[in-house]
Structure 1
């Protein structure tokens, strides 16, 4: 399967206007040092349903995402962050990593075929999404 075939089969994603704008700027600025991930992020933003606000179950910036890598069955929980806040030992994954970019905009039950650092396609399935900043803002 070619990269364009894979992209055409990706699930629908939703992003907030704020995430879309900030991640576009970040990806454009990162093209020289991380061209593959930057281009993947820009493709995802182009095909996303961009809304003023997004539901709490959407994997956006600051979201805690539990997912399964179906290539080996491992379940992981990570928080999507900007590069300056990344700390893999604390489970904070940069949006400029393949995994971070692949999870963006998905909701529980969705899965995506996504390239890893070596370019191998892996299927990532979302188990749960928790957005602490949205949960804390509700009465």
Structure 2
């Protein structure tokens, strides 16, 4: 494993921080990605602490030679799940591999773009890997095996709450359990973004919903539900996006009016976006003035909540 490298008062206004690192993990692997990966793995600074770098490089080369298809995802997912890590500019900066064996999952992570080292992308990528391992793959424990001299990796995993489980002169094994991960989310110790608020009623309904739904946006929604500050419907600030709220958004350079609805009421042609869609999962719980980066339709978008035009709780419509 090598790394080189989101007390409560309902009217409190969060400070939007624009300089936090952003990473999204994408499962589709193209031939262009494979060539980029090979380039990274030819850099000794990248591979010096990656114990299986030769095997990884050889398997990538074999994948390219074996198939002329433009998409190689199926070849990279043999024996585990492979993801390209993108920054907020949609530039590949590294990769993550998750290998699940029984209830345990191992994470292998590399920030391969040396120009991006020192920007805290490694720690942010770890958090995205944790999200997938615990909320999508349902691992009970996540393990990282790190060379003792790889100080960047050691600090990044320790900063994210991993605990040293065992060590040898050539390897340190760190671990985190699913229970600890959820506890850290709920207490804000893994926050990478502005705090969000959700009502007790909305959370109960959405927790029942995500059991029946699937997809990347549902994983993101579950993550948001776990980290949200839960308040009574009568206490939520009037400028928070709750379920069935209508809000004016700035989506990059485009202004968009959106109503946040449950899946059965969705009709994007009329501006009604499901909470299980990319936009829906993104805006839940944020307030007027908040701005976030979010992966929508395979690219990173900047979303700003310009104004909450209607909120059921503010209107006294608690049945919605």
* TM-score exceeds 0.5: yes
1:25 CA drift (Å): 1.7
1:137 CA drift (Å): 2.9
Cα distance between partner residues in 1 of 2:230 and 2:315:
23
Q: Which has the higher contact order (CA 8 A, sep 6+)?
A: 1
Name the Cα RMSD after superposition: 2.0
1:2 CA drift (Å): 2.8
| Structure 1 unaligned blocks of 5 or more | none
Bigger shift: residues 3-12 or 98-107: 3-12
1:62 to 230, 241, 244: 244
* TM-score calculated relative to the size of structure 2: 0.39
The answer to whether the 8 A contact 1:108-1:128 is kept is yes
1:93 CA drift (Å): 0.9
Task: Note the 1:40-55 alignment, pairs <5 A.
Answer: 40-53=220-233, 54-55=236-237
**CA-to-aligned-CA distance 1:64-96 (integer Å, 9 cap, x gap):** 0111112xx001011000111111122111111
Q: For residue 11 of structure 1, what is the aligned residue in structure 2? A: 194
| Structure 2 unaligned blocks of 5 or more | 1-21, 25-122, 129-190
The answer to whether the 8 A contact 1:10-1:113 is kept is no
**CA-to-aligned-CA distance 1:14-50 (integer Å, 9 cap, x gap):** 000111111122122102xxx2111100000111101
Task: Note the 1:16-95 alignment, pairs <5 A.
Answer: 16-31=199-214, 35-53=215-233, 54-70=236-252, 73-95=253-275
* TM-score calculated relative to the size of structure 1: 0.85
The answer to whether the 8 A contact 1:111-1:125 is kept is yes
The answer to whether the 8 A contact 1:64-1:129 is kept is yes
The answer to whether the 8 A contact 2:242-2:311 is kept is no
Cα distance between partner residues in 2 of 1:134 and 1:52:
10
1:98 CA drift (Å): 0.1
| 1:2 has 2:58 as partner | no
| 1:134 has 2:313 as partner | yes
Greater Cα radius of gyration, structure 1 or 2: 2
1:131 CA drift (Å): 2.8
Q: For residue 292 of structure 2, what is the aligned residue in structure 1? A: 112
How many corresponding residue pairs? 132
1:136 CA drift (Å): 3.5
